[in-house]
Structure 1
């Protein structure tokens, strides 16, 4: 056991033999004996150590025992230390009264009894140890109290923070609920909330009531779709027996619905599932487009009438010219019945009639309901078949044809129409270029589309001409009918393809994208997985 674990006892006497006698009595493993030969030295030790008891000789030179004790007791950190005065028996009465005034606890008279000295010191040591235990317990209790206070403070802070979070969350929830209520009630679209469990109507908004004619009171006991909503494919939506209908969201599905008065209206339906008040629900929104559809149909009808008028005027204008020529020659022949008509007149009339017939034939090609014979064809093979014809046309005018063909899947094509499409665009490109120009025909595949691109390096197309491209009877050629590109656009539409024109000072590109047929796509995927 080191000195830090022992109890400190201070022995003060100016005679070394007295200190040795005290040390002989008190020497033990539990005591750390500190010896001082004067009051001044004793005060220094009091500043350095915490003592359980002080054995203080009364008669000493310099500071005597009473003066030393008085200074020790006046000091706050040492006032609690018990002091046992050691005095001669002959002067006991004189010292006792003074000693108690200076804070003495007990007296031992010289010559002292070792047993009594040891027992008294042991008693004060036990009191000191007990006080230390109580002090340690108090310190531990204070520490625990401090920790509990800290925990309480932290708990208060946590509770305060959580309370603020809950208040903020509640406020945000109230704002969100208010926004949803306003959006739901004031939306111009028909909105309804139905339970996924029993299909009952949970809520409907004002627009829903106004458009359908039903009141919410009429719906509370309803578990069926009172609007009889059907999609354009005649499949009943929100079928309770079809989990796909109620679990998968719809977006702008074209539908029809029946009002309370039995009127059929058209709309765009969007649905989404959500849990509301712990109950799984489906939120449906219908944008009523009945009036818009009627307007679009009327505009389409007027457009068709306008187009018919324009095309009739164009046909009349184009056919009138050859008919006028034929009529003039026939009138001349009538007036000169006995004069044989020159053969060139007859040939000219035949040519004009052929020209009129050609215009009518090309016009009929524009018909949307024209029968076609689409089969699985290789676009590259069609292009290779046409290549000699286009190359011959190019060579006569000192121009070049280049093919850049990539391997492409088979397409559902009408070979004759595609040949006409490529020839029309290709010949237009050759005519647009100066001698030395190059016409490039490319094929390639992008995602699920086969691309046909025909590029020329001519001067490009002006914007005002580009805007009218494909319009029947619009042409920039002196001998043109204005039906070539219009026929191309019609062919492209019948093949569900799309055309894009890119033009500039370096040339023009016609880019046509053909969608892959579903069966062709499936076969291509199977082959790619082998």
Structure 2
């Protein structure tokens, strides 16, 4: 039930005991009783309050009830407030007529009957409340009518001078109103525009789509927007933007549609010109970037080839002079061998990139275990790490049959396992990391990442290689036809190489795997290289249906490279025996899992 504010009732009597008695009779939550002990006090109460009824004693000193009532009726605010006279003396007709003449609506004679008083007051309270509500509704209706007239006038004015076409349709989509701008856009008369004329102007190639979409969306009471072509009566083609929405009745029923039409021909032409300009600009910039990268690569290549050649030629001349002792000769041969190896590596990288770009690089796939592949690479670069006193760690993380994460940390050469000769040396770290891949190319991936980390890590730094499993789906890594059956919960093997080196700037990070791209820094220029190693890594990883990404907090904060490769299934192969889980829940290491083959396919059995 809605809340109704209390209504004021004014009691006027010069005897406080009478006021108290009246208030006791009228005690109710519906009215707020206000007391006055004189006519002057009653008039003051009427200055800022409205009352549903006034109970006014006739016999009062100074100003009696008749005088008070006359003054009440003189004020506009209280002119129509009902007044009930209370008297204990005269009941003559003259007295009653005098009371009515000054504005009384009723008389009550003392002693007052409580029920009669309550019923009369209740009637005036109800009348007051209803009067207030009627006034409120009347004011609201008047305001609504005023607003409606303003809106109608505003709509007419806006419609007449609107820069866009405005239309109204019935529920069947037939136009019932259009503004002048609508006619100008379509080049149609008023008669031609009304009804279904607008559908005939839609370009034949767009007509079916536009009409079908309009009806489908309108049925769902959704706003419709579309861009399409029209043909004016003179045959001119224009692009327009239409927007429409349903008009609903008070019962939420669709009574029609209102919409706008905007001529966007110039905008479409400008967009097309802008797109063409952007394409030309992008093509020009791409060509300039390609030329710049080519020039930078050729300059770098020339430098990288000339540097070892200079060293080889210099030591060769010294050897030809035969004036060197045995120690110097050994040093010369080592230097020549080292620089020749460096040149061979540069040439191999260039040839690999050439084969990748031409799609000529082939993989010799077989089932293999990544633990041994990474171990071989870590062992091959350990000498380089020792020269710079870099802590090189190889960590293998895997999950046992109770799904508990465990790890093997291989910190130095003495503790480094020989996976091919000691099956029990690294238990629990074998079958989890079986993939289908080319062993040489996977070693190349690991070697490139590790050598890159060592190159950019300063002395006394740290490089970590972590091999682990990932429970994420490999559906984004494998092609649909390459999904292998597997009972394992994990579907990806992760090779993560982290270092405490020079890091990668956020601006260069998106380009770190692009060919011939190198960061513009003194550290990078000092370390040299052609900028091909990471590009080769990405290409080889993708050829293995994997992915690789780089992370770095910024310059001087190290970097982390993560390779994700899809795991093989857990079935047997022709040269593998399935290892059963022992009673303690551990998984034994299978070192001879891989069967190297020249075939270019793998099967999971």
- Scaled by the length of structure 1, the TM-score of the pair is 0.44
TM-score (norm 2): 0.40
Looking at both structures, which has the greater relative contact order when contacts are Cα pairs under 8 Å and sequence separation is at least 6? 2
Higher helix fraction (1 or 2)? 1
Compare CA radii of gyration and give the structure with the larger one. Answer: 1
